[in-house]
Amino acid sequence: MLSDFTFVGILVLIAVLLPVVGLGLSWLIRPKKPNPVKQSTYECGIETIGDTWVQFRAQYYIYALVFVVFDIEAVFLLPWAVAYDQLPLYALTEAVIFVLILALALVYAWRKGALRWS
């Protein structure tokens, strides 16, 4: 009809029904007896101390940054891989240069300890 993506659209609409119907069904038959103890935060039975949103280590953020860079690299390499068959020999050298520059990025991050979990 529209395009290949029509099925994806239909699937989104139908798949959303699974949680909706399931939650509706369980809402009909499940017990509802809330009390404050039941609804308190579960931390192995120990009373919660302080705020939930405590400071986490910045290390996580560096990993995410490196990830973004490599994700974009992958996106550039995919069309290259698809067309590789029809490309002349220089496509190899160009891609190798591309990969090497990013390998350099990995080496840099590695050497600077950005990938070290300390």
Interacting residues with another protein between 10 and 29 (CB under 8 A) = 10-20, 22-23, 25-27, 29
> What type of residue is 75?
V
- List the interface residues with another protein, window 69-98 (CB under 8 A): 69-87, 89-92, 94-98
Q: At its nearest, how many Å lie between another protein and the CB of residue 2?
A: 7
What's the min distance (Å) between Cβ of 36 and another protein?
Answer: 8
Site for another protein in 27-56 (CB under 8 A): 27, 29-34, 36, 38-44, 48, 51-56
- Which ranges of 1-118 does DSSP label H, i.e. alpha helix? 6-29, 59-83, 90-111
Report the 10 Å Cβ neighbour count for 14: 9
